[in-house]
Structures are given as structure tokens and as C-alpha cells.
């Protein structure tokens, strides 16, 4: 993942794009900030917000044709926000706060402004602030141009005088009753000129008045074919006070650049009115009618009510549905920036590692994002880059990868065909977590499938998901290669899966393999038992890896109907389903966040849940949410109890995988296959509290047994003379495990255990 790719991803997130009101306003009044301040009764802040971009606030509030309103996302849900009336509400209360702007030290350059309408006055205002000497020529005996054509109720002459005088008082030299001609203009000293004369007025530049020459004005820079002459206002477009202000300001920027001899166009984006990319989802917004202003303007209460109708438009669609994005308090555009900075760090601590590893890679963000940005893909790609470049500490994913290695170890992995032949037509691949959680369901499920699928083999191992989630591309590729070699040797059987994470891995890495779900087989062959009973309607929690896998989702629902189970949908289901928190090693990187993810999901419906991923079931049930696996309904007894049972701890999961293998060997070959390792002879005495401690510290019972075996066989240990306890350590791979224990008859009582990744030099003697 390089800088260009990260920049593209950053740009894909539209959250920082302007709302349509500000984008369509040619001077970009921050309407969101204005309404947000008024909504809390803070008219003063609202006024300051307006004055920041509009030098004639009252003239504009009374005359603006409001392009902001035409674009407002509130339009179809009660009517557009009455922005100009709200602006007026601030001005009526706070325009006494206007202070003289800061002027830069005076420069030598002199700018001629021809025409005292709003665009000329704005150009004069902006240039005088920058320190230029500004001389304004007006053919009438008053400034304001077209402003005087408004009726007095809408725009009183007093307002025009007041707001214009404030500008002129900054030091603009004004010449009234002066129509410049080509002859008179040539006698004037100036470095640049702005033509704000309005349509139809004559202008003093030969080039521009030549009847054979149409007026050439660049509408981005306002520069004319005569380099030091600029033009704007209603000379270029239909009259509009706000566009006149915008033209005057943009032309002033160009004139300043021209006089400083720098590029007129560099880094000038989104000037004037433009179409924003920001999209705000209004599908759940209630319609609220416009609060109309009284003829004299809004009362405080009405202005507040109208301002409260503003949606404060933004995107945040992904953050609304993702606990992970919410947890870090920002949104993907900023996260991508943070990730980029994290990747660039060479020596210091990479503070974003935890954030990168806490995403569950569930893909819901892409489903809701208007631009399809998938932060799961981003985080996974970044993990891959960090692993490849040695920037990801191996300890970050060590536990998950060891768990995978255990499942694919010869002691646990299994390939068996039904009749002992070398090949099979179908291959049942239950996935390592189903074996780990419910080993007794593996032979039962196999038997049901085998009753309708000819030549069904079984393969017990892990699909490689932990390697993929950890960004360990090489390890993942190697795991897939091992699987493929065995699959080829088995005669390319169709894969019968019971876990959508396995499906995701195989369909991504080995799309040539045909897969189907156990539930589809049950559906096609009417294997679902009839008349199962559950006392309440079950809400279906689709696993996040089932997103877009309609066939699996449909088969589960058909199965529930066939079994007579009442069920209903969660609001976030099927393509919109949420992760339980297990995906993408988040459970390892950020267990507290996973608890929040689970709480959120569990609280979305009062009903008990039904799912078809065993990790979703175990995690939700562990959170106190009664949850059944589809297999509980098919094979289980006492469903109420099954829905409430806690999943096994990490050590029991290892044990269960071994048992699943024993059971399958027994079922298919009729042979016993007890599997013991030398360390298993060390029987442990563990209190329930000690089991919890081990679980929290990611220490397995077998890790403890290995330490004790090592201490007992090597004699390397420390003895505490006071307590009589023995302290010993063992380092099988990356991690060193320490255990404090004592002997009780034929067993060993564990008093404490912990682990670390430091290297110890020297040995106990
Ligand atoms: S959904 Fe999220 S990532 Fe997509 S544009 Fe909106 S804030 Fe950005
Ligand atoms: S609802 Fe508010 S923020 Fe959204 S477009 Fe309208 S005025 Fe702007
Ligand atoms: S992939 Fe899932 S967890 Fe990660 S950011 Fe997207 S929605 Fe959130």
C-alpha cells in the first residue's frame, strides 16, 4: 500500500466535502455553523460566522437569491432551510459587533476599480485589506449600482449607505460622477484594473470596446484579454448580489496574484458555486415544516426552531453502523491519514497499530458508504504491508496464528473418505471453530449429509482465516496451497461448508473450487426435522461473512420455516448484517471494543437470536444474549438451556478439536483413536477463577502443562521456601510462560500463570 493508494482512499471518503448549502453559495457561507449556533440561541456566533465571508451582511440577507436553498437536502422533507431569513435574524441583533478589519501595510501598487456596484465594492474591500492603493470610479453620484432598484421595504437606502460607508471608510479613494473614457483612462496611473460596470455600460478600454472584438474574460480568474484588466459582476452573468460579491472577491485574489507575479490558477479549487460530492442520507429523516419568518423578521424562538430543522448535513454513514469506527471518534478520511502516518514512522512507536488491528474486516462500511469505501480492505492491506516490511510486531497476531497452527497440526487435522477410497465426490469441511465449540455436532452433521450425498469425505482443519486477517499473506498462501494439494489428491470434490468465514477464504483464494453450504443440502433434500419448537420468535443474526451470500441466507430461513420455528429479521440483516466482533483478530487486539460491539448487536432486538456461525453464537451467548446455532435446532435438546450456554474457553476449544477428530475416526472407521501428548499426563487443579485468569491472559491449559513438564523433567525451577511453591518457565516459540505451582498427590495445583515476550539471558540453577 503506497502513498498514492492511500491518497486515493482518503479522497474516496466524502465526509469532509462541503454541505450543498455552502457549496452552492458562491461565497461559501458556513450555513451549518450558522444554523448550529442559532439552534442553541447563540446569535452572536452565528453573526460572526456570516460576517467572516460576507462584507455586506444585511444587503445580502435582504437581497440574496439563495442558491443555498435550492440545493438544501431538507427540501424534500419539509422544505429548505430559510437561510437568508436566519442571517437577517442575526444581523438584526448583532450587527453592532462589526469591527474594522486588519489592513496589511500599504503597498506601492495602485488598482483602479471602475463601477461602484457590489462586485466593484467587494474587489475594492478585498484589495484595500491587502494594502493596495484603491481608486474607485463611479459614473453616478452614489455607490451601490443596482442595489437602488430594490423597493425600500426589502432594502432600505439607509442599509445601503451604512454598509457601503463602512467599506469606503477603510481608505478607498472614490470619484463620483466620473465616466471614464479611453482617453481619460490612459491618463491614469494604475497597475491593474477591475471592471465592475455592469452589462451595457461602456468601458474605457479600446480592446474591450472594439466592436469587432467580443469581450474575452476567463471566468475562473476574471482576467480579460488585456492582462492587467479584470472583469466581473453582471457584466458576465444575470444580476445577483451574492454572485457579484463572489466575483469581486475572486477577481481581487487574481489581481493580487497578478501584481505579485505568481500563478493566477495554482491551488484554486472549489471557488464560486459548485456541486458538492457530499451525500446525506435522509431516508430516516422526519418531515418538519418550514417555520415562516414574520414580515419584520424572525422572533428568537422561531429562528431557533427553524435553525433546528437544519440537518447539519454530513455523511458518517459508516460510523453510524460501526462500533469500531465510532470508538476512535472520527471517520475514515482521517483514519486513512493516520494509517499513512503510522506506516511512515521509522523509529518511534506506531500508535495506530491497535487501531489497524481492531477492525473486524466485516465490510459493512462498504455496503453503507455512498462511495463504497471498505475500511476492512484498507486495514487488511495495511496489515499485509506492515507484516511484509517487518513493521507489525509478531506478538500482535501470535495467539490467533498459533491457534490456526494447532488446528492444522497432524494431531488435529484429518482427511477421511467414507469407504477408504482415495477420492470422494463431496468433502465435508466443518471449519475449526465448529469442531472447537460443538465436537458432538460434527459426526451428526456428517451422517445427515452422507445420507444424501454419495461418496462424502471429511476434512478437519482451519481454512486459514486467521492468517488472512493478520495480513500474513505468505502464510495464508501456504495454507491454501496445502489445502489445495489435499483437495486435488481427493479428486477435486465439491466442498460442503458450515461456516461462512471458510466460504469467504475459499471463494477468494480458490474460486475454482465448487462450494455449497450444509444448509443448502438440508434444504434441497428436505433434511430439516419437522416440528421443532421454541417458545419465542427468534431474530436471525446473519454472520458478517454471509453478506451477499443469498443462497446460504435463504437456505437458513427455509430451514426455520420447515422446522416450524417462528422467526423475524433484525433491522441490520442480510447484506446489512453486523459483525459479532470475532472477525479480523479484533478479539485479540481490542477485547474491550469487542464487548461494545457485542452489546450493540445484542441490544438491537429483544428476541433471542438464531445464527449459523458458531463464533457469533458463542460470543453473543457469552454476552448474556440467548442465542441458538442452527445446529442446536436440528440436533439439540433443551433449547432454552442451549441458547444460554456459554462457549468453551480457549483450552477447551483445543481439547474439543481433538475430540472431534476422535469421533469422526470412530464413526467412519469404527476404530478408537485416543490422542495424548506427553504433557497431558500432568493433571492440573484449577479453580474457576484461575481458569478465567488463564483465559484473559491467553494462556492455554496445555501451555501450563508444558511448563510443568519442562520443570519436572529438566529440574529447572525456583522454589519459594516460604510458600513451598515452585516457579518455572518454558518458551515453546515466541512467548515465555511462567507458572507457579505445587504438587498435590497425583495432580499439580496452579497458583498463578503469566506470559511475556522478553528474552531472558542466563538460566536457573
Ligand atoms: S460512509 Fe464513511 S467512508 Fe464512506 S464517505 Fe461516508 S464517512 Fe466516508
Ligand atoms: S439541511 Fe442544513 S446543512 Fe443541509 S443543506 Fe440544508 S442548510 Fe445546509
Ligand atoms: S470492516 Fe467492519 S469493523 Fe471494519 S470499519 Fe468496516 S464496518 Fe467497521
Q: Which three cell numbers stand for residue 261?
A: 507575479
280 lines ligand 1 (CB under 6 A): no
Nearest CA to ligand 3 atom 8: 322
10 lines ligand 1 (CB under 6 A): no
Given CA atoms 491, 495, 501, 507 in this order, what sign does their dihedral have?
positive
Q: Kindly tell me the burial class for residue 452, based on how many C-beta atoms sit within 10 Å of its own C-beta (0-12, 13-18, 19 or more).
A: middle
The residue assigned the cell 448535513 is 313
**Looking at residue 394, what DSSP letter applies?**
G
pLDDT, tens only, 395-434: 889 999 999 999 999 999 999 998 889 999 999 999 999 9
Residue 95 Cα distances to 33, 39, 92, 285, angstroms: 18, 19, 7, 34
38 lines ligand 2 (CB under 6 A): no
Distance, first Cα to last Cα, the chain: 50
Put residue 585 in one of left, alpha, beta given phi > 0 → left and psi -120 to 50 → alpha.
left
375 lines ligand 3 (CB under 6 A): yes
Ligand of minimum distance to the alpha carbon of 24: 2
Q: Which fold has domain 18-98+279-308?
A: Fumarate Reductase Iron-sulfur Protein; Chain B, domain 2 (1.10.1060)
**Looking at residue 623, what DSSP letter applies?**
T
Atom index in ligand 3 nearest the CA of residue 323 equals 8
Question: What does the pLDDT read at residue 186?
Answer: 85
Q: Kindly tell me the burial class for residue 689, based on how many C-beta atoms sit within 10 Å of its own C-beta (0-12, 13-18, 19 or more).
A: exposed
Span from the CA of 375 to the centroid of ligand 1 (angstroms): 9
Under 8 Å CB-to-CB from 560, ≥6 apart: which residues? 538, 540, 567, 610, 633
17 lines ligand 2 (CB under 6 A): no
Residue 354 Cα distances to 257, 316, 698, angstroms: 46, 22, 17
The DSSP bridge partners found for residue 136 are 113, 174
Beta-carbon neighbour count of residue 135 at 10 Å?
Answer: 19
Which of 373, 376, 576, when mutated, tests ligand 1's pocket best, judged by the most ligand atoms within 8 Å of its CB? 373
- Indicate the length of the chain as a whole number: 765
371 lines ligand 1 (CB under 6 A): yes
Residue stretches of the chain with pLDDT short of 50 = 207, 209, 211, 763-765
Ligand of minimum distance to the alpha carbon of 324: 3
Distance CA(659)–CA(662), nearest Å, equals 5
* 239 within 8 A of 274, measured Cβ to Cβ: no
Please name the CATH architecture into which domain 110-259 falls. Answer: 3-Layer(bba) Sandwich (3.50)
Question: What does the pLDDT read at residue 206?
Answer: 53
Ligand of minimum distance to the alpha carbon of 75: 2
Q: From 617, 610, 692, select the one nearest 652 (Cα to Cα).
A: 692
Nearest CA to ligand 3 atom 6: 365
Nearest CA to ligand 2 atom 6: 72
Question: What does the pLDDT read at residue 99?
Answer: 84
Span from the CA of 126 to the centroid of ligand 2 (angstroms): 28
Span from the CA of 379 to the centroid of ligand 1 (angstroms): 15
Given CA atoms 756, 757, 758, 762 in this order, what sign does their dihedral have?
positive
* 751 within 8 A of 684, measured Cβ to Cβ: no
Span from the CA of 149 to the centroid of ligand 2 (angstroms): 30
Strand runs (DSSP E) across 524-629, as ranges?
A: 538-540, 567-569, 609-611, 627-629
Which of 276, 324, 369, when mutated, tests ligand 1's pocket best, judged by the most ligand atoms within 8 Å of its CB? 369
Span from the CA of 15 to the centroid of ligand 1 (angstroms): 6
Distance CA(430)–CA(433), nearest Å, equals 8
Question: What does the pLDDT read at residue 765?
Answer: 39
Atom index in ligand 1 nearest the CA of residue 12 equals 5
Ligand of minimum distance to the alpha carbon of 68: 2
Under 8 Å CB-to-CB from 27, ≥6 apart: which residues? 53, 54, 242, 245, 246, 249
Under 8 Å CB-to-CB from 133, ≥6 apart: which residues? 106, 107, 108, 109, 110, 111, 173
317 lines ligand 1 (CB under 6 A): yes
pLDDT, tens only, 448-499: 999 999 999 999 999 999 999 999 999 999 999 999 999 999 999 999 999 9
Span from the CA of 311 to the centroid of ligand 2 (angstroms): 6
Ligand of minimum distance to the alpha carbon of 375: 3
Span from the CA of 737 to the centroid of ligand 1 (angstroms): 43
Nearest CA to ligand 1 atom 2: 318
Residue 34 has, within 13 A of its CA and on its CB side, a CA count of 29
Residue 397 Cα distances to 324, 354, 380, 698, angstroms: 18, 11, 13, 12
576-582-586 Cα angle (round to 5): 105
13 lines ligand 1 (CB under 6 A): yes
Span from the CA of 369 to the centroid of ligand 2 (angstroms): 20
Ligand of minimum distance to the alpha carbon of 356: 3
Distance CA(443)–CA(450), nearest Å, equals 10
Ligand of minimum distance to the alpha carbon of 316: 1
Atom index in ligand 1 nearest the CA of residue 319 equals 2
The residue assigned the cell 459587533 is 97
Distance CA(311)–CA(81), nearest Å, equals 9
Helix axes 701-714, 650-669, angle to 10 degrees: 90
Q: From 637, 644, 630, 638, select the one nearest 563 (Cα to Cα).
A: 630
Q: What DSSP string runs through 688-708?
A: HHHHHHHHHTT--HHHHHHHH
Q: Which three cell numbers stand for residue 120?
A: 466593484
376 lines ligand 3 (CB under 6 A): yes
443 lines ligand 2 (CB under 6 A): no
330 lines ligand 1 (CB under 6 A): no
H or E element, residue 727: strand 726-730
Under 8 Å CB-to-CB from 665, ≥6 apart: which residues? 414, 416, 671, 672, 673
418 lines ligand 2 (CB under 6 A): no
Atom index in ligand 1 nearest the CA of residue 375 equals 3
28 lines ligand 2 (CB under 6 A): no
764 lines ligand 1 (CB under 6 A): no
Amino acid at each position: 500500500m503506497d502513498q498514492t493508494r492511500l491518497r486515493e482512499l482518503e479522497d474516496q471518503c466524502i465526509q469532509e466535502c462541503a454541505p450543498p448549502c455552502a457549496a452552492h453559495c458562491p461565497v461559501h457561507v458556513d450555513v451549518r455553523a450558522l444554523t448550529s449556533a442559532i439552534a442553541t440561541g447563540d446569535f452572536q456566533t452565528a453573526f460572526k460566522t456570516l460576517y467572516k465571508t460576507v462584507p455586506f451582511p444585511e444587503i445580502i440577507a435582504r437581497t440574496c437569491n439563495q442558491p443555498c436553498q435550492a440545493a438544501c437536502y431538507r427540501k424534500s422533507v419539509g422544505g429548505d432551510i430559510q437561510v437568508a431569513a436566519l442571517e437577517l435574524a442575526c444581523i438584526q441583533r448583532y450587527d453592532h459587533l462589526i469591527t474594522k478589519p486588519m489592513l496589511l501595510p500599504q503597498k506601492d501598487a495602485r488598482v483602479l476599480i471602475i463601477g461602484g456596484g457590489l462586485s466593484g465594492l467587494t474587489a475594492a474591500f478585498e484589495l484595500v485589506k491587502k494594502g493596495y492603493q484603491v481608486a474607485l470610479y463611479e459614473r453616478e453620484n452614489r455607490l451601490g449600482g443596482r442595489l437602488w432598484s430594490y423597493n425600500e421595504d426589502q432594502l432600505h437606502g439607509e442599509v445601503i449607505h451604512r454598509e457601503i460607508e463602512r467599506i469606503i471608510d477603510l481608505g478607498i479613494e472614490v470619484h463620483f460622477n466620473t465616466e471614464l473614457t479611453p482617453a481619460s483612462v490612459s491618463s491614469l496611473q494604475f497597475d491593474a484594473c477591475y471592471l465592475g460596470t455592469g452589462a451595457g455600460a461602456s468601458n474605457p478600454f479600446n480592446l474591450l470596446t472594439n466592436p469587432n472584438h467580443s469581450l474575452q474574460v476567463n471566468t475562473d480568474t476574471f482576467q480579460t484579454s488585456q492582462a492587467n484588466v479584470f472583469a466581473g459582476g453582471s457584466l458576465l452573468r444575470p444580476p445577483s448580489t451574492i454572485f457579484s460579491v463572489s466575483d469581486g472577491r475572486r477577481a481581487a485574489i487574481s489581481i493580487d496574484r497578478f501584481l505579485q507575479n505568481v500563478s493566477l490558477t495554482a491551488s484554486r479549487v472549489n471557488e464560486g458555486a459548485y456541486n458538492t460530492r457530499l451525500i446525506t442520507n435522509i431516508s430516516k429523516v422526519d418531515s418538519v415544516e418550514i417555520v415562516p419568518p414574520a414580515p419584520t423578521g424572525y422572533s428568537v424562538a422561531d429562528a431557533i426552531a427553524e435553525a433546528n430543522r437544519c440537518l447539519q448535513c454530513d455523511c458518517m454513514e459508516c460510523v453510524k453502523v460501526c462500533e469500531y469506527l465510532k470508538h476512535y471518534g472520527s471517520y475514515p478520511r482521517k483514519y486513512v491519514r493516520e494509517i499513512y502516518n503510522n506506516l511512515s514512522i521509522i523509529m518511534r512507536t506506531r500508535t495506530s497499530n491497535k487501531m489497524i488491528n481492531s477492525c473486524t474486516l466485516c465490510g459493512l462500511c462498504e455496503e453503507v458508504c455512498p462511495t463504497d469505501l471498505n475500511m476492512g480492505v484498507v486495514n487488511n492491506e495495511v496489515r499485509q504491508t506492515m507484516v511484509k516490511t517487518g513493521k507489525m510486531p509478531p506478538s500482535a497476531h501470535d495467539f490467533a496464528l498459533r491457534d490456526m497452527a494447532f488446528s492444522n497440526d497432524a494431531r488435529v487435522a484429518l482427511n477421511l473418505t467414507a469407504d477408504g477410497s482415495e477420492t470422494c465426490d463431496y468433502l465435508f469441511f466443518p471449519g475449526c471453530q465448529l469442531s472447537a465449540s460443538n465436537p458432538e455436532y460434527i459426526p451428526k452433521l456428517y451422517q445427515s449429509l452422507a445420507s444424501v450425498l454419495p461418496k462424502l469425505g471429511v476434512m478437519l482443519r482451519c481454512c486459514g482465516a486467521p492468517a488472512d486477517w493478520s495480513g500474513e499473506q505468505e502464510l495464508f498462501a501456504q495454507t491454501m496451497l496445502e489445502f489445495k494439494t489435499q483437495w486435488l489428491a481427493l479428486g477435486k470434490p465439491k466442498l460442503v461448508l458450515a461456516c461462512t468465514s471458510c466460504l469467504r477464504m475459499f471463494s477468494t483464494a480458490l474460486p475454482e473450487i465448487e462450494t455449497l453450504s450444509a444448509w443448502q443440502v438440508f434444504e434441497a433434500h428436505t433434511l430439516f426435522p419437522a416440528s421443532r419448537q421454541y417458545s419465542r420468535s427468534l431474530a436471525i443474526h446473519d454472520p458478517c461473512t454471509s453478506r451477499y451470500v443469498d443462497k446460504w441466507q435463504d437456505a437458513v430461513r427455509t430451514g426455520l420455516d420447515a422446522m416450524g420455528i417462528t422467526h423475524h429479521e433484525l433491522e441490520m440483516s442480510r447484506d446489512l448484517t453486523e459483525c459479532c466482533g470475532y472477525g479480523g483478530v479484533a478479539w485479540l487486539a481490542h477485547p474491550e471494543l469487542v464487548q461494545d460491539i457485542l452489546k450493540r448487536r445484542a441490544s438491537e432486538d429483544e428476541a433471542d437470536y438464531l445464527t449459523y456461525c458458531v463464533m457469533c453464537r458463542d460470543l453473543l451467548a457469552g454476552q448474556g444474549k440467548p442465542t441458538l446455532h442452527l445446529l442446536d435446532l436440528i440436533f439439540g435438546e433443551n433449547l432454552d438451556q442451549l441458547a444460554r450456554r456459554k462457549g468453551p474457553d480457549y483450552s477447551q476449544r483445543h481439547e474439543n478439536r481433538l475430540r472431534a477428530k476422535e469421533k469422526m475416526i470412530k464413526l467412519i472407521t469404527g476404530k478408537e483413536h485416543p490422542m495424548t501428548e506427553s504433557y497431558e499426563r500432568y493433571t492440573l487443579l484449577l479453580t474457576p477463577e484461575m481458569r478465567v485468569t488463564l483465559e484473559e491472559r491467553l494462556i492455554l491449559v496445555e501451555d501450563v502443562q508444558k511448563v510443568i513438564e519442562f520443570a519436572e523433567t529438566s529440574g529447572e525451577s525456583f522454589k519459594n521456601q516460604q510458600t513451598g511453591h515452585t516457579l518455572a518457565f518454558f518458551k515453546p516459540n515466541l512467548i515465555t510462560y511462567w507458572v507457579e505451582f505445587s504438587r498435590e498427590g497425583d495432580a499439580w495445583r496452579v497458583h498463578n500463570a503469566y506470559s511475556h515476550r522478553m528474552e531472558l539471558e542466563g538460566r536457573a540453577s
